[in-house]
Structure 1
């Protein structure tokens, strides 16, 4: 049985859609999912990127696209009252629900739906308190231990080459984005393409020009 490490941040609408679609996309295959909350902002900073919602010309398109994708896939979705927002409280809460920092599907579903269903403010203090009461974490989300666990998971992800969410790591191979789910399925199903040279050969393509920042 293959293990999929699903790197996610609840701030990402694409991570939400991928989370909801994963069981259907991988139906009939044998696998185990480890949910790994990470701070997307930390990954972006490590790789020198901006989040799509931080780029004004891209922001409106992002929201239109994810709402359309949700409708296409039959996934309930409403944009939160404000976005982007600070997801640290949500990430720490999810981590605190498991001793190893690997929240189960129920926990992740509850937090994702807190953000992406209903159209309320995901960072509202009263709503966060109610969410914490509902999930009843076994550890204190505000403890130094949990905070360090989130930092460590984010740093480890960045060192592994993960640059965004949703990202799926299987056998050292990285699959990024909602649209990578069919590719992930093909790998898990034993598609012979992954045994060929093309996966590794792309790293040998020389850089022709470097844009000056």
Structure 2
């Protein structure tokens, strides 16, 4: 049985879609999943990048493509009233649901992601909705504690050290599979596709020095 680590932030519609699609994409494969909430904004900051929603033409395309993907996959999805929004309350809630030394389970992650992306377009951080979600999840640790803040920081730093640059990312055997559209590639790897053992994975990523933009 393969152990997968699913790195996600509820701010990402692709994370929500990949989460829903995962069981079907990996049907017939023996695996287990560890769900690891991380702060996407911290990845962007560390890598000197802007998020898709911060670049207006890219934001427009992203949500058109997300709507199309949800339609194709027959997954209900509604964009929340505000996006981007501050995901910290939801990320900390996810970690607070996990036992010390553990990670949140699939049902807990499902409720958090659906709170955002199946909330009939409501504000993900609306206080009454957050209170209801917290009551429903009954976290076992204090959401506002330093322990929980450190769990989120630690998971995000570990993800960066592994080379995670976006969400969702699934790690298995030290290999990183990024995005909704990598699920078929992940399934092929888990099913033993020989391409992964013939050096193609490594060769495709080798450096190819070329023209570099001048810094200003």
TM range (shorter): over 0.9
> Mind listing any 5+ residue stretches in structure 1 that lack a counterpart?
none
| Mean CA deviation greater in 59-68 or 5-14 | 59-68
The answer on whether the counterparts of 1:29 and 1:188 sit within 8 Å (CA) in structure 2 is: yes
- Structure 2 residue aligned with 1:11: 11
| Mean CA deviation greater in 168-177 or 46-55 | 46-55
Taking the aligned partners of 2:75 and 2:12, their CA distance within structure 1 comes to 15
TM-score, with normalisation over the residues of structure 2?
Answer: 0.96
- Structure 1 residue aligned with 2:169: 167
- Structure 1 residue aligned with 2:115: 114
- Structure 1 residue aligned with 2:74: 74
Question: In structure 1, which of residues 146, 154, 157 is the aligned counterpart of residue 156 of structure 2?
Answer: 154
Taking the aligned partners of 2:130 and 2:159, their CA distance within structure 1 comes to 26
Taking the aligned partners of 1:14 and 1:161, their CA distance within structure 2 comes to 19
Taking the aligned partners of 1:157 and 1:83, their CA distance within structure 2 comes to 24
How far the C-alpha of 1:101 sits from its partner, in A, is 4.4
Secondary structure at 1:204's aligned position in 2? coil
Taking the aligned partners of 1:36 and 1:200, their CA distance within structure 2 comes to 26
How far the C-alpha of 1:50 sits from its partner, in A, is 1.2
Secondary structure at 1:32's aligned position in 2? strand
> Mind listing any 5+ residue stretches in structure 2 that lack a counterpart?
none
- Structure 2 residue aligned with 1:178: 180
Q: Note the alpha carbon deviations across 1:37-83, whole angstroms, 9 max, x for none.
A: 00000111111111111111111111111111111101010110010
- Structure 1 residue aligned with 2:29: 29
Q: Note the alpha carbon deviations across 1:131-190, whole angstroms, 9 max, x for none.
A: 101100000111000001100100110111000000000000000000000000000000
